[in-house]
Structure 1
Amino acid sequence: MPDFLLFLVAQLLPMKKYHLFLCLLFPAFAGKAQTSDNLVKISRDGKYGFSNAAGQEVIAPVYDSAGDFRYGAAPVRQKGRFGFVFANGKKSSLKYDSVWIRKGTYDHQPLLLTLLKGKKGLLDSTGKEIIKPMYEDLRDNKEGYTLVVLNGQYGLVNAKGKMVLKPVYDNVGLVANDNTVVYLDGKCGRVDLVKGKVLMTPYEKVGAFIEGLAWVRQDKKYGFINTKGELVIPIVYDWAGNFNEGLAAAASGGKYGFIDRNNQVVIPQKYDQSFVYKDGKGMVRLNGQIGYVDRSGKETWLQNTQVLESSVPIRRN
């Protein structure tokens, strides 16, 4: 049974029935050993702890109940309060109403979640409280950031527990290269989480700033803004990609090509699709074929298109 279900049962069952439930569900609690994460769960006089594979006691059997180890930590209960113990024998504060472990996305770090008086918090892998239990919800983001929810609004906390984006937004996107997007009152903004700079725009969606420009979308049309938020390429394109080497893929009338920073069409919009411009050539698709075209218009078509489909960039905007 997952750890969070174990402790949910602890909240719902009376204490005597809870102990009976544990003994029926986990025979190890009745005196047998159970191995998890290279540690062996042990019991003595109705209390639980852990020893290593060599039989050396690592965590003294002083807990009323204990879950399995995952990612170097195990949830435990003592005197009706919950916390974590770690493979090195150390423990977190045992003060929570409930605790559980969730796998994170950043460097395979676990999320050690806590619940106190109905509010969620987060511990780091040593048991240090990096986010106090004061939020309605916590969700893993990317690059070590955690999404926090307070009063129905969203913000971000970094891996050190520092609030880098106050929970005042209607939504917050995934982090990429310490950047993300935020949404507020139907408008979209771009955030540099390192500099703490938020650039709100009147547009419904904003891309990443590449070479000083970011595409924006409004009413299913695309244009570009600069880092000051000024519209420098009008919102007239059916689709647009990021700038690279001074060119960006753009579409009009169902045909694709490449434009420059001055909104000049450098490579004609005659292709079924255009992708990124890189190493002096842009990837394009025409009549089922994939190839490349340079600024002079010279085309090079690949022969084994089916094999090369996996190299075509995925367009998400």
Structure 2
Amino acid sequence: MLKKMAVTLIFTTMVFSTNVAEQSQAASATAMQAQTGDQLYPIEVNGKYGFINGKGKEIIEPLYDGYGYSGVSGGKVYVEDHAAKKQYYFSSAGSELFEYKLRGASVLFNDRALYTTQVQNADGGTATRYGYIDSHGKVSIQPIYAKAYNFSEGLARVNVGKAAGYINTEGELVIPYRYSSTSDFSEGMAAVMLAYGGKYGYIDTTGKLRITPRYDHADPFSNGTAVVYVNGKYGYIDKNGNYLLTPQFSMAQPFSEGLAFVERNGVTFYINKKGNKVIQGFTAGGLFKGGLAPASQGQRYGYINTSGRFVIKSKFYWADDFNGELAVISLLVPNSSEEIRGYVNRSGAIVWPPASELPNGVTKLQ
């Protein structure tokens, strides 16, 4: 039963980081139904993969060997057919976009997907190079990069040699190769390291250094703030590099909807941007998405609102942040060690697996 209804999520950030499959092209044409929709969620049934929409309706029937998806609203997905050695890309509405060779390209971000090819070196050897295809499966950026990453906010970080820079979706170099370490852009900012073993600072989308490198580690911006790590402690900065909260936490999550879950002196709680404790009494907490965050007081997980009150009672073995209309949750089968993963909606109803397929006793948790 566990294998039958397990849900496996793979958030792809680099080429070949997902493993999903599909049947033949003919089978895909009948299994993929063009539906209206905005976001798809992967499901697994008996070792095969497909996708549902935010209402729990099957959009792509679980017939395939693997999958890839971005996990963003309106994002494209692909499924793999190991027998045919192909993967097929689909829109969030379930309409087929194009086919590609199996594991030859990654998920589409900003309508660009990484692909690889082998090139011959001057010494006769071969090397892997990265390029990008578009949402029609056509080469849009030639494979000249030794390293390359997915697009984010219209820019992708790439390496020709050891140094990294950023290109736009047309393949134009807009931020020169000058960094030893880079990150994706988030809220118009990216954390970078100028020299190997140095400190992290932040640049904007023009390449201008906005925050001087001085952090041991620096996270992406979220909710107008970023978590930074200095001398063994975490703190928060704004986009000017000013400290909202000086490094003082042993654990710090990003701010989401004005709140962040942190740990200090062995105690966990939510703070606001002034550093005030606003929600206490939880041993685990996640990000707020649309007013809800997963949280636990020690045994089971539920979802709280920004006042710290459970609006979806703590009945889950584990719970993830909401992603659009659904969140991944885990249930334990009564009198068993089996774990079932599925999806819950914002009303607290389990939309996948269907109630008719849940083991006896599990439905009582709803």
Instruction: Give the TM-score normalised by structure 2.
Output: 0.47
- Where do residues 27-46 of structure 1 align in structure 2 (5 Å cutoff)? none
The residue type equivalent to 1:159 in the other structure is T
1:161 aligns with 2:163: no
1:219 aligns with 2:221: no
Q: Which residue of 1 aligns with 2:251?
A: 239
Q: Which residue of 2 aligns with 1:182?
A: 192
Bigger helix share:
1
1:171 aligns with 2:181: yes
Q: Alpha-carbon deviation of 1:187?
A: 1.3
Question: How far apart are the structure 2 equivalents of 1:140 and 1:282?
Answer: 30
Q: Which residue of 2 aligns with 1:148?
A: 158
The residue type equivalent to 1:220 in the other structure is G
Cα separation, partners in 2 of 1:162 and 1:224, compared to 1, 3 Å: same
SS at match of 1:103: coil
Q: Which residue of 2 aligns with 1:273?
A: 284
Cα separation, partners in 2 of 1:141 and 1:311, compared to 1, 3 Å: closer
1:262 aligns with 2:274: yes
Q: Alpha-carbon deviation of 1:243?
A: 1.8
Question: How far apart are the structure 2 equivalents of 1:179 and 1:240?
Answer: 19
Q: How many residues align?
A: 217
Larger Rg belongs to: 1
Bigger strand share:
1
Check whether the contact 1:255–1:271 (CA below 8 A) recurs between aligned residues.
no
Greater CA drift, 143-152 or 231-240? 143-152
Check whether the contact 2:200–2:213 (CA below 8 A) recurs between aligned residues.
yes
The residue type equivalent to 1:230 in the other structure is N
Identity of aligned residues (%): 21
- Where do residues 94-113 of structure 1 align in structure 2 (5 Å cutoff)? 102-106=104-108, 107=111, 109=113, 111=115, 113=117
SS at match of 2:319: helix
Q: Which residue of 2 aligns with 1:302?
A: 313
Encode CA deviations 1:241-285: one digit per residue, 9 max, x unaligned: 2222322111112221111111222223x4212222455565422
Question: How far apart are the structure 1 equivalents of 2:312 and 2:106?
Answer: 42
Question: How far apart are the structure 2 equivalents of 1:212 and 1:175?
Answer: 13
Cα separation, partners in 2 of 1:112 and 1:264, compared to 1, 3 Å: closer
- Where do residues 78-89 of structure 1 align in structure 2 (5 Å cutoff)? none
The residue type equivalent to 1:152 in the other structure is K
Extract unaligned runs of 5+ from structure 1.
1-35, 39-68, 73-86, 88-100
Q: Alpha-carbon deviation of 1:287?
A: 1.8
Q: Alpha-carbon deviation of 1:158?
A: 2.5
Check whether the contact 1:224–1:233 (CA below 8 A) recurs between aligned residues.
yes
Q: Which residue of 2 aligns with 1:289?
A: 300
Instruction: Give the TM-score normalised by structure 1.
Output: 0.54
Q: Alpha-carbon deviation of 1:238?
A: 1.1
Extract unaligned runs of 5+ from structure 2.
1-23, 27-84, 89-97, 329-366
Tell me: higher relative CO, structure 1 or 2? Use CA pairs within 8 A at least 6 residues apart: 2
